[in-house]
Amino acid sequence: MRVLQISSAKTYGGGERHVIDLSRGLQERGHEVFAAVRPTCTWRKRLDFLPEEHVFEVSIRNSFGVLSAMRIAEFVRDNDIELIHAHVARDYVPASIACMAAKSSRYLVTRHVMFPLKPFNKFALRNCARFVGVSDAVGVELRKLFAKERVRVIPNGIDLGRYKAESGHEKRASFREFHSIPADAPLVGALGELKEQKGQRDLILAAHEVLKEVPEAYFVIVGQDHSLDGRFRRELKRLASVMGMEERFLWLDWLEDTSEFFAAIDLFVSPSHSESFGLAILEAMAFGVAVVATETEGAKELLGETEQLVPVRDPIKMSRAIVRYLTGDLARMEAAAAAKLRAEQKYSLDKMLDATEALYREILAEKA
């Protein structure tokens, strides 16, 4: 199959990670994969496994980018592309227009977030073959607007081969030594873009309570800040400082390889206010790290019914869960083992690729 993946996202996050993993996986299975990205995107280099001529730069600024749609249609015709797969909301309508203009391909969209699509999409996307949600919760939202038979749920998957534990002890020691964290100190980690929705402020408030019970604990927060002039990171660091915890927090902008981070921490916390899936949670599970997460739809689906879930925007209950797992070695190890097994059974990259390939073939069979 010849497939064009479209994502106009400027910065790198979970959705872009999905596009890259999907593209690489499909290519390794023998498919011809193409990608359309915005010229100013920060993650194009991550597509370097694709031939240079397979990566197409196009500016999609909003849902009504007709000129961009015409450029995509021309690229589709020139490369005999059979399927267009769009991943960002503002790309959906241009993908629809491009598909109609090219006249030789079908298209589908993947919805990576919980926010409902605007009602006009029901008409604008009437020629979309399928709507894919990355979780059951996203699927529910899609079925409110589109016919049930056109909606599918394909959970994100990760390459479990990346999460082997052979060098875990060495990576744990290396990370802690480099960042001056005591080898035996309890270490809590969080990973995600720094913004209000991700709940890092709640984690700082929870940390203040945790340190009353576990005074030797440290916290590491990893994530890029795309707010104006890095304002949100400064606010978070100021809060930690005012509360007397400046020495207990490590702030890292970005990690290309997260394996040392996950090897080093004893507990992963996802304090998000909203999460459609939660790739960082899944990574922690795959690495065999116990997780405490807020009760977002994505976290509930990933972790199942468990005491590891706490109410959204409740730093006190979050702190109690963190203390429970930091002070209870057996409970932490059992939670980590159960999470790792769940990741291996339900969320492998191969499962995601199998489901996506099957859906592509189903769509193309309808065309024939």
Task: Indicate which CATH number applies to the domain containing 200.
Answer: 3.40.50.2000
- 83 and 18, same structural domain? yes
- 55 and 15, same structural domain? yes
- 173 and 310, same structural domain? yes
Tell me the residue range of the domain where 85 lies: 2-157+348-367
As a whole number of angstroms, the distance between CA 141 and CA 101 comes to: 29
Partners of 67 in beta bridges:
none
CB neighbour list of residue 352: distance below 8 Å, 6 or more residues apart:
21, 22, 25, 154, 155, 156, 157
- 215 and 202, same structural domain? yes
Whole-model pTM above 0.85? yes
What pLDDT is stored for residue 284 in this prediction?
Answer: 97
Q: Which residues of the chain have pLDDT under 50?
A: none
Q: Which residue has the tokens 């083992």?
A: 337
What pLDDT is stored for residue 368 in this prediction?
Answer: 55
What pLDDT is stored for residue 238 in this prediction?
Answer: 98
What pLDDT is stored for residue 162 in this prediction?
Answer: 81
As a whole number of angstroms, the distance between CA 144 and CA 147 comes to: 8
What pLDDT is stored for residue 7 in this prediction?
Answer: 97
What pLDDT is stored for residue 88 in this prediction?
Answer: 96
- 138 and 179, same structural domain? no
Which residue in 266, 269, 347, 261 sits closest to 308, CA to CA?
Answer: 269
- 324 and 276, same structural domain? yes
Q: Is the separation of the CB atoms in 185 and 216 below 8 Å?
A: yes
Three-state DSSP at 188 gives strand
Residue 90: CB atoms within 10 A of its CB come to: 16
Laid out side by side, the sheet with 130-133 consists of 55-57, 32-37, 2-7, 83-86, 106-111, 130-133, 151-153
Partners of 151 in beta bridges:
131
Q: How many domains does the chain have?
A: 2
What pLDDT is stored for residue 166 in this prediction?
Answer: 58
- 111 and 54, same structural domain? yes
Q: Is the separation of the CB atoms in 59 and 80 below 8 Å?
A: no
